[in-house]
Structure 1
Amino acid sequence: MQIATLLGYLQLAGFAFLLAGEYILNALGIPVDTPLFVQMRENKFMAFAGFMILGSVSQSMLATGAFEVYFNDDLVFSKIQMNRWPTMQELVDLLHVHGLQRH
């Protein structure tokens, strides 16, 4: 399992515990005075912020930085291959070379 996926699941579980932790723990037969759950319940804002950061970290781990432009299934520009962003004029010229008509 990828770490990013695991972090996403931890974020969802954390939000579930923030909203319905007492019910979940009671259903599992776990005492609700568990130190971690007590801290979460007493500091809901901080716990929420922590879970939001966890989600942000998860998403950033999945980001590739890819930016690719295709025209008629032909690759026109790839940021990964060129290791840079294109200029607008460069994109216009490349699309023209690949058959896009200017009006």
Structure 2
Amino acid sequence: MRWLIRLCILAILLVHSIDANSKELEEVPLSKFGAKTGPTLRFFYCYSCGYRKAFEQYVNILKQKYPELHIEGENFTPPGYKMLFAKILGTLKILVIVLIVSGVDFGLPLTSVWQWCISNRFYSSVLVFLLCNAIEGQLISSGAFEIHFNDVPVWSKLETGRIPQPLELFQIIDFHLGMQFSDMDVGKIKFHT
């Protein structure tokens, strides 16, 4: 029984250490030589909704029209409480699967559900895994397709309910480029429009 408790604690620590390491990797600053000098267009999309393909199509279109534009994209993280519930559910999923596979007897009368899980370890583990993944997917699915120009929000699918058409995005970019370079000599800047 002690090995099971140690295994569960190890699994929880592993999940949290992976999360902490991924946050540390995200916060690596650019050096002076690697700093970007041009305007940046940043997309935040819902990966679980399938918007990564739309992002990649926009990158191809925008790179042809605006080669100097830096384009970045990443998954839109949902509000904190949904992400917290998804992480807790993921940890509980692993814990329950470990308990099912190990066949732990808690010394209490077994319920019919737990007896079935112990009798059918493979099927119950797969069932727990799939159900928890479906719930986690619903929790982290935001439906977002947000666009920021130099950290200024310029489009939000969450507010408008739709993804912008390429011509709309071109107009937005042209407007913001015009605003950014209005006090400079526009003749010296070569943007392909």
Q: Same fold (TM over 0.5)?
A: yes
Contact kept, 8 Å, 2:101 with 2:121, in 1: the verdict is no
Which moves more between the two structures, 72-81 or 11-20? 11-20
Q: Give the direction of change, closer, same or farther, for the CA distance of 1:88–1:32 in structure 2 (3 Å limit).
A: farther
Matched, 1:47 2:137: no
Distance 1:69 1:94 in 2: 10
Counterpart position of 2:142: 64
Matched, 1:99 2:181: no
Q: CA deviation at 1:77?
A: 0.9
Contact kept, 8 Å, 2:146 with 2:156, in 1: the verdict is yes
**Cα deviation code 1:19-63 (max 9, x no counterpart):** 3343xx4xxxx2498344331132234313322222221331232
Contact kept, 8 Å, 1:68 with 1:79, in 2: the verdict is yes
Matched, 1:74 2:152: yes
Q: CA deviation at 1:102?
A: 3.2
Q: CA deviation at 1:86?
A: 1.5
Question: Percentage identity across aligned positions?
Answer: 22
1:99 aligns to what SS in structure 2? helix
Name which structure has the greater RCO, CA cutoff 8 Å, separation 6+: 2
Q: Give the direction of change, closer, same or farther, for the CA distance of 1:16–1:102 in structure 2 (3 Å limit).
A: farther
Counterpart position of 1:20: 102
Q: Give the direction of change, closer, same or farther, for the CA distance of 1:102–1:75 in structure 2 (3 Å limit).
A: farther
- TM-score, normalised via structure 1 length: 0.66
- TM-score, normalised via structure 2 length: 0.40
Give unmatched runs, 5+ long, in structure 2. Answer: 1-80, 179-190
Q: CA RMSD in A?
A: 3.1
Q: Give the direction of change, closer, same or farther, for the CA distance of 1:97–1:44 in structure 2 (3 Å limit).
A: farther
Distance 1:21 1:92 in 2: 60
1:98 aligns to what SS in structure 2? helix
> Which 4+ residue blocks in structure 1 deviate beyond 6 angstroms?
none
**Cα deviation code 1:74-100 (max 9, x no counterpart):** 112110121212123322332232229
